[in-house]
Amino acid sequence: MKTMNNLVVKYKSFGFIVLTLLFVFMTLVSILTYVSRNVTSSNKIVQFAIQQHLWIMISVIFVSVGFGFFWASMLYKELETKSKVTRSMRDVVFLFLNDDERKIIDFLISSNGQTTQAELARLQGMNKVKVHRAVQKMEEKNILSVEAHGKVRKILMKENLIDALS
């Protein structure tokens, strides 16, 4: 997974450099045509840029859009791959949990890793005793942590599990 992240960082860096160069090129062509709009130059490149600046700008815009589409599709594939890895990690974690614990983990994932014990007791097929026992077991397994706030018990999923499973 680390090599994939390094590859994505390299792609992003390369994309940023290319888009910066395209922006600098468009800026130079714009400045050059504005400054030289009433001047005839003996330099063929400058003359060409002045005469064809509209088409140069349009072609650079199309190249930029194509380039952006290419990088967006590359990053989408990376996100799709990460999603598949996350699903498989969730399946592996669920192998070691019973049905009640799975319900609690699913609910915690959908609620950004934190909820109250009372909210868990309202889940279908759950009651206060089942939730208390399941939370106690998962706390022993170091999956959850429980914080008491007066009468309310706040259930927090461990940060590393939230990152891995969501």
Do 14 and 84 share a structural domain?
A: yes
Do 64 and 21 share a structural domain?
A: yes
As a whole number, mean pLDDT of residues 71-83 equals: 77
Residue 108, pLDDT > 80, answer: yes
Reduced 3-state DSSP string for the chain: CHHHHHHHHHHHHHHHHHHHHHHHHHHHHHHHHHHCCCCCCCCHHHHHHHHCHHHHHHHHHHHHHHHHHHHHHHHHHHHHHHHHHHHHHHHHHHHCCCHHHHHHHHHHHHCCCEEEHHHHHCCCCCCHHHHHHHHHHHHHCCCEEEEEECCEEEEEECHHHHHHHC
User: Which one of 88, 111, 133 terminates a domain?
Assistant: 88
Do 31 and 106 share a structural domain?
A: no
Do 74 and 151 share a structural domain?
A: no
What's the number of domains the chain is made of?
2
User: Which one of 33, 63, 88 terminates a domain?
Assistant: 88
Do 78 and 117 share a structural domain?
A: no
Where residue 57 falls among pLDDT bands split at 50, 70, 90?
confident
Do 109 and 155 share a structural domain?
A: yes
Q: What is the pTM of this model?
A: 0.51
Residue 5, pLDDT > 70, answer: no
Please report, for the domain that includes residue 148, its CATH number: 1.10.10.10
Do 54 and 12 share a structural domain?
A: yes
Do 112 and 84 share a structural domain?
A: no
Per the structure, the complete domain to which residue 146 belongs is given by 96-165
Where residue 3 falls among pLDDT bands split at 50, 70, 90?
low
Do 107 and 80 share a structural domain?
A: no
Q: Look at residue 119 in the predicted model and tell me its pLDDT.
A: 92
Do 101 and 78 share a structural domain?
A: no
User: Which one of 88, 115, 130 terminates a domain?
Assistant: 88
Do 42 and 109 share a structural domain?
A: no
As a whole number, mean pLDDT of residues 118-138 equals: 92
